[in-house]
Structure 1
Amino acid sequence: MAIERANPARGDAAADGTAPAVSLFDDAPVRRVRVLLPRPLDGAYDYLLPPDMALEPGALVEVPLGRQRLPGAAWTVEPGDSDVPEGKLRPVQRRFDTPPLPEPLRRFVDWVAAYYLAAPGAVLKMCLSVPAALDPPAPRIGYLRAHTDADALGLKLTRARRRVLEVLADGPARTLSELTREAGVSDGVVRGLADAGLLDRVEMGFGRRFEAPDPETPGPTLSEAQRMAADQLCAKVDGDAFSVTLIDGVTGSGKTEVYFEAVIRALAAGRQVLVLLPEIALSAQWLDRFARRFGVEPAVWHSELSQGERRRTWRAIAEGEARVVVGARSALFLPYPELGLIVVDEEHEQAFKQEEGVPYHARDMAVVRARLGGMPAILVSATPSLETMENVRAGRYDRVQLPERHAGALLPEILPIDLRHDRPKPIPGHGTSYLAPSLRAALQETLDRGEQALLFLNRRGYAPLTLCRTCGFRLQCPHCTAWLVEHRLLHQLQCHHCGFAQRPPTKCPDCGDADSFAACGPGVERLGEEVATLFPDARVALMASDTVSGPESAQRFVESVQNHEVDLLIGTQIVAKGNHFPALTLVGVVDADLGLSGGDLRAGERTYQMLHQVAGRAGRAERPGRVLLQTYEPNHEVLRALVDGDRDRFLEVEAEGRKSAGMPPFTRLAALVLSSEDEAAVDQTARALALAAPDREGVEVLGPAPAPLAVLRGRHRRRLLFKTRRDLAPQPILRAWLSQVQVPSKVRLTVDVDPYTFL
């Protein structure tokens, strides 16, 4: 919780040694404006407002801070409670030519900062993530045929030059890219003709950045259940008031088409729509479906965009031109002037929780954003989170259900494979196997029928652990308490927490033996090696974050599977999210027990959700599907719920376990993590916090103790868990507690309200 304290003279007056520039306004009434800056500061700074400048709350301005000039947002105009003397104030430098931040967004910034105990400026930084977009884009430059003859200019016309002049002979102005494409020439040819005087450069305006979706484009025929659900959602949009509705539908039930009807209704009402997806890099099929339904692609927001694309998209959203935005969690903080509907697809996904910076949960904050803006929110999942189901049970959220797959497709049959009896057998000439004989046979049958199969293992790389056969030494990250994962395709050992990578050593650093290291356990690469031995004629592909790194890569991969260029797909969790492969009829889960243990309060729920989602990839068209779960614990409640198809019973058992343990969503939880390169300093600060811990009824503090990742990126980490009753707001208690302890500058304190993971 690194928050910079404001200088007593707000605006860092005279921090560069110069006198505040106020003499120009001596004869004018003093007008102040409080500006929030996109920095981890504890509040807004006061500035002088020039007499010729008009500002309203939310206006985006440039102001001095020390020797810098920074963008910021006018948070309060003419604040009445400021105690900063006029002589110490510095003036606002200019107002940006962009719409002000909408009032609901400003309230949202304050709400997020207060709830997560974050600096308001750190939250604002997520809203102003593209400073270059604050200035209007330069107009596009086009080229026209000039009223000049080449002979008069003494210019020889080559074939390339003639083609340019022919393209422009009777047409309108064209941009450089359009002209070079149509004429088949280089940029230099066009610029050379313009410099010589044969072409005129003209301004063409800005042009439209995003076409408006066409809600009249015919869509698929909805089933009766889909139509009933869609009508309920459309009624919520028509009501133009805050509400939260869960679309609870099995995999393949057509949930997306149902909420598209609500999107159409919001667009017809002149409102913008935001759709949040957990993995925007894996949204190729969603984007294709949207384009077919609405005739155009939506605006897209995620970390893979170039700076130019981010600038163009941010500006289009702020000006209301982008009517539908699909994005990752950060899209929630964009400045929509007419937002009227928020959809959170796959609401249960862990990817919606941001762990770095301000640790917020985008699903929960989407609900807050909808409430502050007075609009409906739609949550979508085949495996809703326990938090969402508790809100449904308590009547805070509504629910529409889609219990059957669309177009008559059947849910897959799910069967366990008991590895205690059906043990994998070594492969002659290959060695260790990780596929049981019954799974091998099922794979062979599927391939013989010309159908596709998927093997799921949520482990990247070749092997999760590498150790010395001679002395047992394990290769560990030098910066984290984590084992190095072997990636044989890259010929590297990698840490999946900090990114450290090295070449595999030829000798053991501990005992010195050469060639003594052995890979332990399987990753998807090792599984691919086994499959290539068992099914040499099958076309095999790996789908993991190492092999699919962005939207374009994901789209090419998905198309290759859809076009049946792949027979057997091996994937990690990213393959479970929303992909539709009509010919895929068999899913084999190699290690269904992975993730069931480890002390995480959400381990069972997360494992159920992941396995349910990956099982849903099978049999989504006319061919029936089958799912085989390899396990040593076939009677575990998670696996029994999957096999029996009894999700609601699993959620009841999970809820009872959380309630009896006094854990969320039945209590409130916050994690306090201290970290430092100095282990003694972090231990001393942790003890000081423990001694100052609140002692009151309904509050419990656990720790301090080493975090599960006791060292991360070279920093020693200690953790305290703060728990309160559900009816107690944790924030005031946390603020009072933390105010009693001075955290040294060398120690970083992170407060995670409503933690989702516990590493």
Structure 2
Amino acid sequence: MNRVRLVIFNAALGPLDYRVPETMQVEPGSVVVAPLGPRQIIGIVWEPERLPATEVPDSKLRPLLGKLPVPPLKAELRRLIEWTADYYCAPLASVARMVLASGGALKGPATMTEYRLTDKQPDRMTPQREKALDALQGEQATMRELAELAGVSVGVLRGLVGQGVLEPVEVDCDRPYPRAHPAHDAPDLSDSQHEAAQRFITAMRKGGFAPFLLDGVTGSGKTEVYFEAIAEALTSDRQVLVLLPEIALTEAFLRRFENRFGSAPVVWHSSLKSTERRRAWRAIATPPAQGGAQVVVGARSALFLPYAALGLIVVDEAHEISFKQDEGVRYNARDVAVMRARFEKIPVVLASATPALESLQMAESGIYEKIDLASRFGGAQLPEIATIDLRETPPERGRWLAPPLVAEMTARLERGEQSLLFLNRRGYAPLTLCRHCGYRFQCPNCSAWLVEHRLSSRLACHHCGYETPPPPACPECGTEDCLVACGPGVERIADEVREVLPQARVALVTSDTLNSPEKAAEFVQLAEERLVDVIVGTQLVTKGFHFPELTLVGVVDADLGLEGGDLRAAERTYQQIAQVAGRAGRGSKPGEVLIQTRHPEASVIAALAAGDRDAFYTAETEARRHAGAPPFGRWAAIIVSSEDEAEARDAARAIGGSRPELPDVAVLGPAPAPMALLRGRYRYRLLINARRSAQVQTVIREWLGALDFPRGVRVGVDIDPYSFV
């Protein structure tokens, strides 16, 4: 091969051809360095017949500069990249870039210097040095990491190095991770769990693509079941990928994994340090039989890593909308996971207590094999669910918790049991206004109200991150002490709990308070040791936690998720409330769920109260079928944005004016997006509704490909959208 075609990480240029020097050996999937003008770029060698490119005579080809010391990307991964780019109308280069997510990993083997304590004491003890010595017992890490761990400056530690109290240790950057052992602590499974686990194990031994939907009620032991499939993969030296929807849940999962298999898995998420990403990436690209990674637990981006010997994929809480990425390549990790399993010819398990309607439909049609766990493990019973009609039993004036819910919380507190209050709204109040002139605080970059956060004394935008301290006077009329918080957030609910139950120990659980795996682990420990009486949280508390003494769940505002124009609002509301209800009564004590609502007759609320999931899904299925919505039809969105409102509007009108006239494709819009200004860009949307038979991606590519836009205009395509803001 003396001529190769590269995918380079510049979507505007597309594939480029290069000459291979006689001294270099490359193959499809090789990661290489190539010249581009005066610069050097990284590219991936691709099969030329699969990528169209401008034909350049051999005599004009520039030579490759080098091949990077990493294994070639496997054909299965290249096919996944192609499929993702094609299905989600994304540039091939943008998808391929996600595979090479650690620049340090591409440089080959390396060593680094870490430090650890010796037996020597410092010549002179200071409070900072004493603090460091106490914190660093048994620790070994880089200087910067040790400084963060001890809460002291790097200068303090350098002084200890100079006195021989800390000693340098040269370590291999790619040192192997501790090995997991399939038989370390095998559990006693119930009959239904054992039957489900055997089905997975049989599929793995048989080989080939096998998609499963593991549909089990909350507390039924789904994790223990797919752990047995993981054990089978470990026995046969195959790798496993477990996708989790929330990084904050990672710590609790890692502990369960370590208890079962004797060591922690490899972790992959955006918060890893560069050295951790490098080590994980290179371990993943190495077969387990050669000391490589065995099990990877990660966020959605872990799906595109170059696994050397992938044998099983598990998508836990597979219904979660956080698996859908809404920026850059707008892919759904749940669906891409199924496709990766198909290309790799391996089993994939989608686990959920409230599966997405699309997944249930795939099982109904026989594409997925559905495995049910209909009862809780160990004889625990599902909680009793009742509604509180806020029209008949409203909270006291100025409060948000109805008397029946407060009474049940009081009873739980007296019995030494725990309660959980769920409200999917961060901060103290969603809107702050001036009682004198009515001025409302709005984000300068987005068409959204600023949310008051009293814990941090900030008014914050939850869309762009803008923050400002609350002013002492109204910026419109100048009146002092006139600002009013409107509506409740979780911080306000937590304050109310402290008022009505002053003796209760309250934990606030949101992405603001549990913003790292360590803080999440600290909360879990406090709750398990019964040092928390009432948990107040957002959707973060709806999944993953198991507290045996938690016997009451209160849903503060069940109607909140039904507001707005979200086409999946009913399904999402059902899933959230059903998941948070599942936190109650997971031990030997019975659980109860109280749902505060102004619309107890709504189909979602009625189905939850009756415990009739099938009735809700049947009604939702028929509504989707009637509307031609997924899974019976196709949705796609075109989002047009610019810093200039007129430019965005004109571009959107140009797209709408050239819409295709096809019998199986309907185009709605353009119209200003519900979030018409986001991060300083004005936004317009078009929504496409098509029959299943329509080639939506081909239609969109040909439609938009014929148009030219000003440089300041961005046009994004969202296939199967989940967000409609």
Structure-1-length-normalised TM-score: 0.88
Alignment of 1:223-622 (within 5 A): 223-320=190-287, 321-426=292-397, 432-622=398-588
1:16 equivalent in structure 2? none
Q: Would you say 1:100 and 2:98 are equivalent positions?
A: no
2:698 equivalent in structure 1? 732
Structure 1: any 5+ residue segments left out of the alignment? 1-29, 144-156, 162-173, 427-431
Distance apart, 1:47 and its partner CA: 1.3
1:370 aligned partner, one-letter code: A
Q: Distance in 1 between matches of 2:623 and 2:171?
A: 65
1:328 aligned partner, one-letter code: A
Q: Distance in 2 between matches of 1:158 and 1:385?
A: 59
Q: Deviations over 1:280-302 (max 9, x none)?
A: 22222211110011000000001
Q: Distance in 2 between matches of 1:439 and 1:342?
A: 41
Q: Which region of structure 1 is more displaced relative to structure 2, 407-416 or 469-478?
A: 469-478
Secondary structure of 1:236 counterpart: helix
1:690 equivalent in structure 2? 656
Secondary structure of 2:73 counterpart: coil
Q: Deviations over 1:361-386 (max 9, x none)?
A: 00000011111111111000000000
Instruction: Assess if the C-alpha contact under 8 Å between 1:63 and 1:72 holds in 2.
Output: yes
Q: Distance in 2 between matches of 1:341 and 1:72?
A: 29
Evaluate the alpha carbon distance shift between residue 186 and residue 512 of structure 1 in structure 2; reply closer, same or farther with a 3 A threshold.
closer
Q: Distance in 2 between matches of 1:729 and 1:364?
A: 18
2:625 aligned partner, one-letter code: K
Q: Distance in 2 between matches of 1:204 and 1:682?
A: 53
Distance apart, 1:63 and its partner CA: 1.5
Distance apart, 1:191 and its partner CA: 7.1
1:18 equivalent in structure 2? none
Q: Distance in 2 between matches of 1:717 and 1:440?
A: 44
Distance apart, 1:643 and its partner CA: 1.1
Q: Deviations over 1:378-414 (max 9, x none)?
A: 0000000001011111111111000000000000001
Structure 2: any 5+ residue segments left out of the alignment? 124-138, 151-155
Evaluate the alpha carbon distance shift between residue 356 and residue 186 of structure 1 in structure 2; reply closer, same or farther with a 3 A threshold.
closer
Distance apart, 1:740 and its partner CA: 2.1
Distance apart, 1:342 and its partner CA: 0.5
Structure-2-length-normalised TM-score: 0.92
2:185 aligned partner, one-letter code: P
Q: Distance in 2 between matches of 1:142 and 1:132?
A: 17
Q: Distance in 2 between matches of 1:687 and 1:705?
A: 9
Task: Give the CA RMSD over aligned residues.
Answer: 2.6
1:71 equivalent in structure 2? 42
Distance apart, 1:509 and its partner CA: 2.5
Residues matched between the structures, number: 694
Secondary structure of 1:582 counterpart: coil
Q: Percent identity?
A: 52
Distance apart, 1:727 and its partner CA: 1.3
Distance apart, 1:649 and its partner CA: 1.1
2:90 aligned partner, one-letter code: A
Q: Distance in 2 between matches of 1:81 and 1:708?
A: 39
Secondary structure of 2:229 counterpart: helix
Q: Distance in 2 between matches of 1:380 and 1:42?
A: 40
1:473 aligned partner, one-letter code: Y
Q: Distance in 2 between matches of 1:541 and 1:158?
A: 42
Evaluate the alpha carbon distance shift between residue 354 and residue 232 of structure 1 in structure 2; reply closer, same or farther with a 3 A threshold.
same
Distance apart, 1:207 and its partner CA: 6.6
Secondary structure of 1:463 counterpart: coil
Instruction: Assess if the C-alpha contact under 8 Å between 1:282 and 1:550 holds in 2.
Output: no
Distance apart, 1:186 and its partner CA: 6.4
Q: Which region of structure 1 is more displaced relative to structure 2, 544-553 or 63-72?
A: 63-72
Distance apart, 1:117 and its partner CA: 1.2
Q: Distance in 1 between matches of 2:15 and 2:567?
A: 39
Q: Deviations over 1:402-440 (max 9, x none)?
A: 0000000000001101111111113xxxxx111111111
2:509 aligned partner, one-letter code: M
Instruction: Assess if the C-alpha contact under 8 Å between 1:701 and 1:720 holds in 2.
Output: yes
Q: Distance in 1 between matches of 2:114 and 2:703?
A: 62
Secondary structure of 1:33 counterpart: strand
Instruction: Assess if the C-alpha contact under 8 Å between 1:60 and 1:72 holds in 2.
Output: yes
Evaluate the alpha carbon distance shift between residue 130 and residue 442 of structure 1 in structure 2; reply closer, same or farther with a 3 A threshold.
same
Q: Would you say 1:35 and 2:6 are equivalent positions?
A: yes
Q: Deviations over 1:465-507 (max 9, x none)?
A: 1111122221111111101100011111000001111111222
Q: Deviations over 1:609-632 (max 9, x none)?
A: 000000000010001111100111
1:338 aligned partner, one-letter code: A
Q: Deviations over 1:430-454 (max 9, x none)?
A: xx11111111110000000001111
Q: Distance in 2 between matches of 1:80 and 1:513?
A: 65
Structure whose alpha-carbon radius of gyration is higher: 1
Distance apart, 1:56 and its partner CA: 1.1
Q: Would you say 1:44 and 2:4 are equivalent positions?
A: no
Q: Would you say 1:132 and 2:98 are equivalent positions?
A: no
Q: Deviations over 1:191-225 (max 9, x none)?
A: 7889xxxx9x9977567331221001122200001
2:128 equivalent in structure 1? none
Q: Distance in 1 between matches of 2:385 and 2:170?
A: 63
1:687 aligned partner, one-letter code: R
2:457 aligned partner, one-letter code: H
Secondary structure of 1:283 counterpart: helix
Q: Which region of structure 1 is more displaced relative to structure 2, 391-400 or 278-287?
A: 278-287
Instruction: Assess if the C-alpha contact under 8 Å between 1:56 and 1:77 holds in 2.
Output: no
Instruction: Assess if the C-alpha contact under 8 Å between 1:463 and 1:522 holds in 2.
Output: yes
Match of 1:642 among 594, 599, 608: 608
